[in-house]
Amino acid sequence: MIELTLAEIAEAVDGRLVVGSSGATSATVVRGISQTDSREVAPGQIFFARRGEETDGHRFAGSAVDAGAALLVVEQEADDRVPQIVVAESTIALGRLATEVVRRVRAGGELTIVGITGSNGKTTTKNLVAAMAERRGASVASEKSFNNEVGGPLTMLRVDAGTRTLVAEMGASAEGEIARLTAMAPPAIGVVLTVGLAHAGEFGGIETTFRTKSEMVRDLPNDAVAVLNRDDPYVTRMAELTAARVRWFGQHPEAEVRASGIDSDASGTRFTLHIGDASRPVVFRVLGEHHVTNALAAAAVGSELGLTLEQIVEALEGATRAARWRMEVMGGRDGITVVNDAYNASPDSMAAGLRTLAQIARPGARTVAVLGAMSELGEYSIEEHRRIGLQAVRLGISELVVVGQEARNLHISAINEGSWDGESVFFEEQDAAFDHLVRTLQPNDTVLVKSSNAAGLRLLGDRLGEAFA
């Protein structure tokens, strides 16, 4: 973070400065980044004490001070050993400070902000864009899936005077949230990947999802760029909603950044990347044909950032996985391949994972799909889990292992479709599923582990990867 005095921070967050017994003054400078978890605080950092549904960060203010926090942002006075700024709401204050820091860096330097949203693929695309941004100078990118009202500002606050690119993943669980993030860090390049049923239970339907995701491009000025997926009909509609120049990516013939000759197997995906009239072959080691869409989006951004086609291809070929627990290839003993893709799951990504499983299996070898629940689908949950069960059978997946009561409809659907002779099995608990798999997996099997993060199957995927390492 850039250097700011306590007085400047208090003004930015609309708070009241209390120096307490610290000996500090309003002119004291703070330069450490911000944290909302007292366990992650390092010396010199700012601790924002937030009230959550399960706990209250004010309870841990003392621990943050013990860890070396230089400043507390609180809703009520806490530990007076360090300066405190008292605000009405800590989460809002966090966003206000991020807004001010980004404003100052943009005014004083050459900061380019890239915002990325979509129902699927945000983190993968963010990681690919970050790898490209590093080639043009110092960059900051969202860590993990820091893309909400807390994670977004924490990422933004890491920029300083030398940062040339901020790559910000921007997610939402309700209308207005992406607009708030883009107001904090106005993108010069706004990317929309897909509009699907992820979080449909919270959004209330596909049209609400469309409106929410379109917030990424609605307020872009005419000197900005909207990078849009020409293959997604909902994203295509967003071209009518933005004043920005539109850059299309996808496999559609109208896409300026597109792919041809796509071929996938267990080692990754090969395709030819076209940017305008130029083209180059790409060996993309991120597993799954559906990730080509993310690669194309990243390539479009890389081109807008001024990278050459050779630099873009080099960055794509340097990626070995989408991210932790996202199409992560594990195992190897007896030719058994475990693909752990259980960090997130929506109907679209679940379907894509099953198609990938069917595509990458060795000829004549078995495919095993270990599936858990897809969260946050609301009224669509039963229908979408049933649809995935049907798809698993129709793709000819050799065995379906369904884990967790919330995913049971998936198992029932597979049985009703015709998977009745042990091809689909159901387990309430992960331990039972693990024991079954260790006992029954055969040489050369390919196993996909897929669920939403809340279902926790990523841990089962790790156990299987270790068991067959």
Residues annotated as binding site for ATP? 118-124
Measured from the Cβ of residue 333, the count of other Cβ atoms closer than 10 Å reads 10
Q: By the 8 A CB rule, do 162 and 334 touch?
A: no
CA–CA separation, 266 vs 386, rounded Å?
Answer: 27
- Measured from the Cβ of residue 278, the count of other Cβ atoms closer than 10 Å reads 11
Task: Extract the tokens encoding 448.
Answer: 């996909």
Strand 225-229: give its sheet, edge to edge.
139-141, 165-169, 112-117, 189-192, 225-229, 245-250, 257-265, 268-275, 278-284
366 phi, psi to nearest 5 deg: -85, 155
H or E segment to which residue 94 belongs: helix 90-108
- Contact 215/182 with Cβ under 8 angstroms? yes
Annotated binding site: 118-124
Cα–Cα distance for residue pair 133/107, rounded to 1 Å: 20
Distances (CA, A) of 83 to 47, 69, 309: 11, 10, 50
- The length of the chain in residues reads 469
Both tokens of 453, joined, read: 């993060």
What amino acid is encoded at 243 in this protein? A
In whole angstroms, what is the distance from residue 327 CA to residue 54 CA?
31
Q: How far apart are CA 338 and CA 330, in angstroms?
A: 5
Q: What is the spatial distance between Cα 467 and Cα 434, in angstroms, rounded to a whole number? A: 10
